[in-house]
Amino acid sequence: MSGKLRPVGSRVPLPTSSVMSLPWERFYVAEYTASGTEALAMAVSIAVAGNSKVEQPEVIIPGYGCPDLIAAILALDATPVLVDLLPDTPFMDDTLVRKSITDSTVAVVGVGLLGIPERLSLLAEICREKSIFLIEDSAQCFPPFSTEKPLADLVVLSFGRGKPINLMGGGALLYRKNLSAELRDVLLQFPKLPQTIGWGWYLKRFIFNLLLTRYGFWILEKLPFMDVGRTRFNELKSISRLDLSLSLLNAGIRDYWSRPLLYHRYTRELQFLEQQGWRLLDTRTYGEFGLADSNPRIRFGVLAPDMVTRNKVWKALNASGIGANALYEVALPYIGGVDQALIGTDLPVAHDFASRLLTLPCHCDVSDSDITRVVNVLKDECAV
């Protein structure tokens, strides 16, 4: 085997001297942060401050997602309220969202998954009715949906590994330009860290990019202490703003827009799966207003008919050198380390979604022959 294709991850670019307009500048102001999780925590802090009379604030999130959602909410002493999904989609059930809102609810977090934005128009309508904040978590989507139609009050971005723009860390909180000065000042409580682009950064970038190669990832995956691909809960112990290098951010955005739209080929060539009881998580079906259909993706998601089939194909793809995976593998309450008290843990649809989801690599190193191999493995395993 000539190494192994990693499941996700773009190379870290070199800073550029060229300047470009940022996609959110029309409607939002950016506050850069030390991580995407910290950006979400800052968004929660604004929502909490905007509802200061609430003694024990609650924040609604989907029952399937990254455990960092929970970490960010708990860091502000708020309570995560988990809502189940609509069948065969990554979207929260809006009927359950409405039922979950109480006098203690301060925000709803609409999470974009696999490049597919949540149904923000619907969530914005609910949040306006209830006078609570809508937060768009766009860690897996770029540009955020709200940059085209400013539905969210607050938007969260992540620039960590495995995200659309990989800067080896950092994030951004976007807030509406009309946000009150009093709420903007909430951000000043968080210290600002400098970002140094020196020889240490360049060395780290070299090693990071080397590990993204087929041989590098193959070796990395073999090291048991690295525990590559495992999802776990990590407590958020500090929250900081970041003096992010805009030359690095510009380079990351330019690199993002230069990537091929590989998922269109997946959509075309995997149509046969739908005759076998699979579902393709493509933006033709799920993307609100079709906005995300012209943006590069970091993964392509498919839902198998059942867990047994998913696991069989997952194993076969990895044996063939394709780094397919099941993303978080389980619904949020079942992720290791999530032992905090949660509201709304009866999540049958989220559990079903987690048991059937398989993601396929969609980054710039995926070749035509890789996609052909993916298609052939799926045809063999599904006996088409």
Give the Cα separation of 62 and 350 in Å (integer): 8
| Calculated CA dihedral for residues 44, 47, 49, 51, nearest 10 degrees | -140
Compute φ and ψ for 136, nearest 5 degrees. -95, 115
- For the stretch 185-188, contacts whose Cβ atoms lie closer than 8 Å and that sit 24 or more positions apart, written own/partner, are 186/42, 186/45, 186/46, 186/49, 187/31, 187/42, 187/45, 187/46, 187/241
> What's residue 295's pLDDT?
87
What is the CB neighbour count within 10 angstroms for residue 39? 32
Compute φ and ψ for 371, nearest 5 degrees. -65, -40
**Which residues are CB-neighbours of 221 under 8 A, at least 6 positions away?**
4, 228, 229
| Calculated CA dihedral for residues 327, 91, 89, 232, nearest 10 degrees | 20
Give the Cα separation of 383 and 250 in Å (integer): 46
Q: pLDDT means per 10 residues in the chain (384 residues)?
A: 87 87 94 98 97 93 96 95 95 96 97 93 96 97 93 97 94 96 94 94 95 89 68 90 95 94 92 93 60 80 96 96 94 83 82 97 94 95 75
Domains within the chain, CATH numbers bracketed:
259-381 (3.90.1150.10)
**Which residues are CB-neighbours of 21 under 8 A, at least 6 positions away?**
none
pLDDT in tens, 33-47: 999 999 999 999 999
Instruction: Give first-to-last CA distance, the chain, whole Å.
Output: 26
> What's residue 31's pLDDT?
97
What is the radius of gyration, based on Cα positions, of the chain?
20
Q: Is residue 325 within 8 Å of residue 221, measured between CB atoms? A: no
Give the Cα separation of 123 and 32 in Å (integer): 25
Q: Is residue 14 within 8 Å of residue 247, measured between CB atoms? A: no
CA angle 53, 59, 62 (to 5 degrees): 165
What is the CB neighbour count within 10 angstroms for residue 74? 20
Q: Which residue from 38, 77, 29 is spatially nearest to 190, judged by alpha carbons?
A: 38
> What's residue 294's pLDDT?
79
* Number of helices (H), then strands (E), in the chain: 13, 12
Q: What is the secondary structure of 30-87 as a DSSP string?
A: EEEESSHHHHHHHHHHHHHHTTTT-SS-EEEEESSS-THHHHHHHTTT-EEEEEPBPT
Q: Map tokens 């070749």 to a residue.
A: 367
pTM of the entire predicted model:
0.95
Using DSSP's 3-state secondary structure scheme, residue 372 falls into helix
Q: Which residue from 146, 147, 168 is spatially nearest to 158, judged by alpha carbons?
A: 168
